[in-house]
Structure 1
Amino acid sequence: MPQTQTHTRPIGLAIWLIIAGVIGWWAAFQLTVEKIAGLVHPGTKAGCDFSILVQCTENLDSWQGSVFGFSNPIIGLACWVAPIVVGAAILAHARFAKWFWVLFWFGFLFAIVFVGWLIYQSIFVINTLCPWCMVTWSVTIPSFFAVTVHLLRSGAVPIGAAVRRVADRLMAWVPLMTIVAYAFVILLAQLRLDAIPNVWHTIEIALGWV
């Protein structure tokens, strides 16, 4: 009878966590720089302000941009370090206890819920698309899917072997799950903000095509 996989050293997940962590941290850093620049020089245009629709300033200056009493990017600066460290530790042959993976997953659960709320606020309330915020969304979504599937397949939670085998096969579907999630967000933005032609026009302006 074949031995059940334990996935104690998920190399692919580790590499992705490092990549996502670096991208997410860099996006948070850029937003923090823009926030500080706005405080030091009030009224100046942020470097990521491309149009009324595609901009950072409106999001950063809104109450949603400081929902916990301080600028949201500070959360990213602190929290995106964790996936980088965990990914590097896995590559260095570290082994984590089951409770660690559960706590790590709860961190991503908070992240996906918070990002989902910010996506709603951005599209339906603030009516803007923040470029660096969207970068954060783009790595949070697949990271949540990947960590969730790994949590289930690794046996970190008490589920049956059949469910673990299904979860193991689901890891290959994480890219497709991510694309579907992206498509849903794009659909919402298009229906609410007519985002696709506006964003494309912004890209054309940025590249000097018009």
Structure 2
Amino acid sequence: MTSTENVIIDERPLRGWRHSAWWTYLVMLVASAVALGASFVLAAETLQLARHPESVLGCDVNSVVSCSAVAQSWQAEIIKFGGLSYPNAFFGIAAESVFVTVAVIGMAKVAVPRWFAVCTWFGGLAALAYAYWLFSQSMFVIQALCPWCLTLMFSTTIQFMALSHATVAVRNLPAKATGLRTYYRLGIDLMIDVLWVVTLAVLIIVVEGPALFA
């Protein structure tokens, strides 16, 4: 004998302070501001090395924790145009300035077109992928870690988490994403986000632990 069960799909909008515009975009604003500050520091150090290649930077601790080693690698200037190469930090300043502006707009509850919200999310995803590529190159190819680069990577991670939360909870995108709303309504995102950040930290400690604590 078979029976038909009625499945009730919860399509209610997300409610509560944790899903509000001011909170989700506030987290994004703080993370973006930290990333912007790190980008400014990296840009300043890049200029210092360009003027004084022999100089030792304040974050040059040893052969593993070394901003100079990362800044002088080809991965630090992958954009080339007109015969010139441009440091990644300059693009970081431009990108994070945009994300800071988006966060402020979100906190102010300004309505934006769907295409703008979608492009912003994909922009955040591109920034995250770029930060992780640089992180993987730094750890496994250059074999040196830059504290400011790590700050940028972790802040970009939190920035993307907050942006994704705001896109679903505030911008209501995708419109029929019932599963995503359940994901945030049940707080599963908190567990995944914490696990994500802890996994990154553990990876760094496992791979570079001896040199970090030497």
Tell me the TM-score normalized by structure 1: 0.82
Q: Deviations over 1:5-26 (max 9, x none)?
A: 2789611111112111210010
1:133 aligns with 2:145: no
Q: Supply the distance in 2 between the matched residues of 1:92 and 1:151 (Cα, whole angstroms).
A: 15
Query: Cα offset for 1:181?
Result: 2.1
Question: Do residues 198 (structure 1) and 214 (structure 2) align?
Answer: no
- Name the counterpart of 1:188: 203
Q: Say which one has the larger Rg.
A: 2
Runs of 4+ in 1 over 4 A off after TM superposition: 6-9
- SS in structure 2 at match of 1:159: coil
Bigger relative contact order, structure 1 or 2 (CA pairs below 8 A, ≥6 apart)? 2
Compared with structure 1, are the counterparts of its residues 121 and 164 closer, same or farther at alpha carbon in structure 2 (3 Å cutoff)? Answer: closer
Partner of 1:206: none
Unaligned runs of 5+ in 2: 1-9, 81-85
Aligned to 2:101: 85
Percent identity between the aligned chains?
24
State the shift of 1:90 in Å.
2.4
- What residue is the counterpart of 1:41 in the other structure? 52
Is the CA contact (8 Å cut-off) linking 2:25 and 2:166 kept in structure 1? no
Counterparts of 1:177 and 1:144 in 2: how far apart (Å)? Answer: 13
Give the superposition deviation at 1:123.
Answer: 1.0
Report the Cα distance in structure 2 between the residues aligned to 1:191 and 1:93, rounded to whole angstroms: 42
Which amino acid letter does the alignment assign opposite residue 143 of structure 2? N
* Alignment-mate amino acid for residue 5 of structure 1: P
Q: Kindly report which structure 2 residues correspond to 1:1-210, keeping only aligned pairs within 5 A, or say none.
A: 4-5=12-13, 10-69=21-80, 70-153=86-169, 154-160=171-177, 162-169=178-185, 172-192=187-207, 195-201=208-214
Contact 1:146 1:174 in 2 (8 A): no
Q: Distance in 2 between matches of 1:3 and 1:98?
A: 19
CA–CA distance in structure 2, aligned partners of residues 141 and 174 of structure 1: 13
1:182 and 1:199 map into 2 onto residues whose CA distance is 18
Question: Where in structure 1 are there 5+ consecutive unaligned residues?
Answer: 202-210
Kindly tell me: are residues 80 and 46 of structure 1, through their superposed partners in 2, closer, same or farther at Cα, counting changes over 3 Å?
same
Q: What is the alpha-carbon root mean square deviation over aligned residues?
A: 2.4
Q: Pick closer, same or farther for the CA change 1:68–1:85 going to 2, 3 Å.
A: same
